[in-house]
């Protein structure tokens, strides 16, 4: 019927294996819009806590949960993000011209064409004359000319306070080297480190709220070192919750300490907006590839984010460069790609998701079947070994099909029975051509697996024994349309010989045989 098993696998797959994360905002928070986004393929919803109140976020959480309990919710804390202050409502967008003077102040002022406040009050004490500042993801470039203290009445004091004193300097006088439009609350990037650490006071309040609402992931912004991740986790645990932490890599310091950060994180987000400003733009693609590979080898999900389909914020189609960007992120091995402003405030959130899904499909079709050694790590866990072994089983099955094209046999999928999701992630890291059905016993684990490449999670009821669990898992996957009676399935699970250990058993079964076993 089919020439080889690879063709069968491609034909039978109906959805993408890579995942789509969409940021929710004014353009996408209605119930009708959320339903449409989920229908088009959004797997994970991002709530950006840099904007909005807890009441607004709670309203969105309740809407998402009422529509579907399958969608994972990721709360993104602001971290020590430095932003501009509010602009005048009568003139909300101003144009900064090349060569003009412009002031950034720690004083509370309404923004004009000459001055803006900043959310980070110690900023004037942490920059030096001659340094560069960048606003709005690097679109606006400023050179620091002078730093001074101005009293609230506008008068210059007789003495300037010491550097790093919060009561010290207030105003950064700059020259605009690259102009552009400036509106309220745009990001400011500075060279080097700042004294403020993660989590900030605002972050702590937001993390406690996320713990209370039992979100599925926390994205921790501006992580610089592993201690930042540990501190975020402590806040969550002290609030009585256990939430996986996705560390956002957006500073050069984080790249230098990436291995240590990855070790204490549950996943990674490559946030290229700030990273592309603080790192030279030509270095970002290379860094992205290296970080993705390290995450793949660790078996931890990695999200590629920022400006992926940026032009679709205003127009209904992406640039060719943006399409290539999404394609290459998936080809490199990202578990998920993310929409930011495109879905939060853009004019075409549905079209952006549709386009991203179409690009993902093409990239997945073209992905090379890599040697499993490409993904190997130093792990020696059962699940790691099983993930590697499954790659070999699938390859041997394909070779047999090529030698016997008249055979009706085909592999239908991989079923992983997992309590924590770890075994499913270890299978996922080897990027098998088959669908991965992860059967777990917890709704939250099910949603968390929505971020892992190729995984279709399902929830099982608690059962009295291993055989019953296996049968119910196969039956449920069959009823959901993931499996067919005539297909073979690879089942990964624990064993009655070591019930407290992680997955340590692989079996290949005809789906029909398993279904019939349960009817006996």
Residue tagged active-site, from 107, 248, 431, 433: 248
DSSP states along 261-301: HHHH-SEEEEEHHHHHHHS-GGGHHHHHHHHHHHHHHHT--
Question: What are the beta bridge partners of residue 189?
Answer: 134
Q: Examine the residue annotation and report whether 425 is marked as an active-site residue of this protein.
A: no
Instruction: With beta carbons less than 8 A apart as the criterion, state whether 55 and 160 touch.
Output: no
Which three-class secondary structure state does DSSP give residue 478?
A: helix
Cα–Cα distances in angstroms (integers) from residue 136 to residues 141, 179, 186, 349, in the given order: 9, 11, 5, 21
DSSP states along 493-513: E-BTTBTTSS--EEEEEEHHH
Question: What are the beta bridge partners of residue 469?
Answer: none
- Find the DSSP H helices in 433-488: 443-448, 466-479
Residue tagged active-site, from 17, 46, 169, 444: 46
Residue tagged active-site, from 103, 170, 306, 440: 306
Q: Examine the residue annotation and report whether 470 is marked as an active-site residue of this protein.
A: no
Q: Examine the residue annotation and report whether 248 is marked as an active-site residue of this protein.
A: yes
Report how far residue 422's alpha carbon sits from residue 428's, in angstroms, rounded to the nearest whole number: 10
Verify cis geometry, omega within 30 degrees of 0, for the bond prior to 199.
yes
The number of helix segments (H) and strand segments (E) in the chain equals 17, 22
Decide the pairing of beta strands 336-339 and 19-23: parallel
Burial class (CB in 10 A: 0-12, 13-18, 19+), 17: buried
Q: At what angle do helices 54-67 and 31-40 cross, to 10 degrees?
A: 50
Cα–Cα distances in angstroms (integers) from residue 413 to residues 56, 381, 493, in the given order: 41, 23, 14
Q: At what angle do helices 466-479 and 511-519 cross, to 10 degrees?
A: 120
Q: Examine the residue annotation and report whether 149 is marked as an active-site residue of this protein.
A: no
Q: What is the DSSP letter of 111?
A: B
Instruction: With beta carbons less than 8 A apart as the criterion, state whether 336 and 43 touch.
Output: yes
Question: Closest by alpha carbon to 434, among 514, 383, 488?
Answer: 488
Report how far residue 419's alpha carbon sits from residue 427's, in angstroms, rounded to the nearest whole number: 14
Instruction: With beta carbons less than 8 A apart as the criterion, state whether 301 and 336 touch.
Output: yes
Catalytic residues: 46, 83, 248, 306
């Amino acid at each position: 019927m089919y020439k080889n098993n690879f063709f069968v696998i491609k034909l039978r797959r109906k959805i993408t294996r890579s995942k789509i994360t969409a940021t929710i905002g004014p353009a996408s928070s209605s119930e009708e819009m959320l339903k449409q986004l989920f229908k088009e393929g959004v797997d994970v919803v991002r709530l950006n806590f840099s904007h909005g109140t807890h009441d607004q976020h709670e309203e969105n959480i309740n809407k998402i949960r009422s529509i579907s309990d399958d969608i994972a919710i990721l709360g993104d804390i602001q971290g020590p993000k430095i932003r501009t202050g509010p602009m005048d409502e009568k003139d909300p967008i101003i144009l900064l011209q090349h060569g003009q003077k412009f002031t950034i102040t720690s004083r509370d002022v309404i923004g004009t064409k000459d001055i803006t406040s900043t959310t980070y009050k110690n900023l004037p004490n942490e920059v030096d004359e001659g340094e560069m500042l960048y606003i709005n993801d690097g679109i606006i470039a400023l050179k620091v000319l002078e730093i001074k203290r101005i009293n609230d009445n506008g008068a210059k004091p007789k003495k300037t306070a010491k550097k790093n004193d919060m009561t010290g300097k207030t105003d950064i006088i700059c020259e605009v080297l690259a102009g552009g439009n400036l509106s309220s609350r745009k990001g400011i990037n500075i060279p080097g480190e700042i004294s403020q650490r993660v989590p900030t006071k605002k972050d702590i309040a937001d993390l406690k709220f996320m713990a209370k609402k039992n979100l599925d992931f926390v994205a921790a912004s501006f992580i610089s070192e592993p201690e930042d991740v540990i501190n975020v986790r402590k806040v969550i645990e002290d609030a009585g919750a256990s939430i996986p932490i996705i560390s956002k890599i957006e500073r050069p310091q984080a790249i230098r300490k990436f291995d240590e950060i990855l070790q204490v994180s549950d996943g990674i987000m490559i946030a290229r907006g700030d990273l592309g400003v603080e790192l030279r733009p030509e270095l970002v693609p290379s860094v992205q590839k290296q970080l993705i590979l390290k995450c793949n080898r660790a078996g931890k999900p990695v999200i590629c984010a920022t400006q992926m389909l940026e032009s679709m914020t205003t127009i209904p189609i992406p640039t060719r460069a943006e399409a290539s960007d999404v394609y290459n992120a998936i080809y490199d091995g990202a578990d998920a790609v993310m929409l930011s402003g495109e879905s939060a405030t853009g004019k075409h959130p549905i079209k952006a998701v549709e386009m991203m899904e179409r690009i993902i499909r093409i990239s997945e079709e073209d992905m090379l079947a890599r040697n499993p050694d490409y993904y190997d790590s130093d792990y020696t866990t059962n699940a790691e070994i099983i993930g590697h072994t499954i790659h070999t089983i699938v390859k041997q099955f394909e070779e047999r099909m090529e030698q016997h094209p008249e055979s009706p046999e085909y592999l239908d999928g991989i079923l992983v029975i997992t309590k924590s999701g770890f075994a499913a992630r270890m299978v996922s890291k080897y990027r098998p051509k088959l669908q991965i059905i992860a059967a777990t016993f917890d709704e939250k684990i099910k949603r968390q697996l929505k971020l892992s490449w190729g995984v279709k999670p399902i929830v099982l009821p608690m059962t009295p024994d291993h055989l019953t669990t296996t049968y119910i898992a196969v039956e449920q996957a069959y009823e959901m349309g993931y499996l067919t009676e005539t297909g073979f399935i690879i089942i990964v699970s624990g064993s009655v010989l070591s019930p407290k250990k992680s997955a340590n058993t692989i079996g290949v079964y005809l789906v029909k045989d398993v279904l019939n076993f349960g009817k006996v």
